[in-house]
Structure 1
Amino acid sequence: MDRFVSTFTNKIDAKGRVSIPASFRAVLERDGYPGGLYCYPSLDAPALDAGGERLAKKIDGLLANLPDYSDERDQLSVALYGDVQVLTIDGDGRIVLPESLRSHAGLETAVTFVGLGDKFQIWEPGRFEKRRAEARSKVQVTRKLFAAGSRSSGEGGDEGARG
């Protein structure tokens, strides 16, 4: 498997270390970044975004689509690369979460790792459960919209032309 999938919860020890799930370490290794990972505060959630070279390339792609020297490009660069911390994975599969990252995500005694395909997020377990419930609720609404859209397009008629 070459994607970050599933959800795992692990404890943070007294030194701020936490074990990266083995399946996530395997993806990082295949991704060409076996000894560590990129980690930064999520732009839109009280969580941390993390990953390997694939995540870095995705960020590069976002920035490449913005004009050189534009305010938007500079702001995104600062928000992403300016706050990135490169975390080393030790021989036991653990990383040390710096205080600045733990503070952003409200991490104290445990973390939940959430696979998101090309990257993963690190959440405080209680906050993640709320996030998961919200996401599932929104997906139900979206699913109904997709189903309604496929029915109207599947009937072959132009809804606007009726009536």
Structure 2
Amino acid sequence: MSDFVSRVTNKLDSKGRVSIPAAFRAVLDYEEAKFLYCCPTLDMQAIDAGGSRFQGAIRDRLAQFETFSEDHEFLSTALLGESENLKIDTDGRVTLSDALKEHAGITTHVTFVGQGYKFQIWAPERFETYRNEAKIRVRELRRRLGATSSGSPNSGADT
């Protein structure tokens, strides 16, 4: 099974549509996705998107909570109630709703970022800020893990 990988920036056209990157469409086709499932991220100004694996991950997460519990209600509202199914046209484009664009701060360009079972949709400038922070945090994490794991072939290596 293929994963969503890489990063691509595309422009919104005059009708507000954006082309899903071809490699991402191939994964959606493999998953037999009839639409693009999108929801605002819980803690960032971006959009989580994907097909059946992404929806399955949401179902799996919700299943960890007792049905009708307050936590289940809050999480299902955030992950399902705020979600949208976007129709993918024959040219592989989707139209992002105003609500999704507003949440992510998208105006003219969109950055697609692969994350394995799902991908994220960002305003390019917001993604660059997030990407820089992610690099710093990954370096810190690697240092912490390197300090606690002995015998690792890459312990202490700076890659």
Question: What amino acid is aligned across from residue 29 of structure 1 in structure 2?
Answer: D
Question: What amino acid is aligned across from residue 133 of structure 1 in structure 2?
Answer: N
Partner in structure 2 of residue 30 of structure 1: 30
Deviation, structure 1 residue 32: 2.2
CA RMSD of aligned residues (A): 0.9
Q: Distance in 1 between matches of 2:67 and 2:12?
A: 41
Alignment of 1:85-96 (within 5 A): 85-96=84-95
Deviations 1:99-127 (A, max 9, x none): 11001000000000000000000000001
The residue matched to 1:40 in structure 2 has which SS? strand
Identity %: 51
Partner in structure 1 of residue 8 of structure 2: 8
1:76 aligns with 2:75: yes
- Unaligned runs of 5+ residues in structure 1 are 155-163
* Alignment: residue pair count: 151
- Unaligned runs of 5+ residues in structure 2 are 152-159
Q: Please report the TM-score for the alignment, with normalisation by the length of structure 1.
A: 0.90
Question: What amino acid is aligned across from residue 20 of structure 2 in structure 1?
Answer: I
Alignment of 1:124-139 (within 5 A): 124-139=123-138
Alignment of 1:104-115 (within 5 A): 104-115=103-114
Partner in structure 2 of residue 101 of structure 1: 100
The residue matched to 2:149 in structure 1 has which SS? helix
Question: What amino acid is aligned across from residue 93 of structure 1 in structure 2?
Answer: G
The residue matched to 1:60 in structure 2 has which SS? helix
Deviations 1:126-148 (A, max 9, x none): 01001000000000000001111
Larger Rg belongs to: 1
Q: Find runs of 4+ consecutive structure 1 residues off by over 4 angstroms.
A: none
Partner in structure 2 of residue 67 of structure 1: 66
Q: Distance in 2 between matches of 1:14 and 1:83?
A: 26
Q: Please report the TM-score for the alignment, with normalisation by the length of structure 2.
A: 0.92
Partner in structure 2 of residue 41 of structure 1: 40
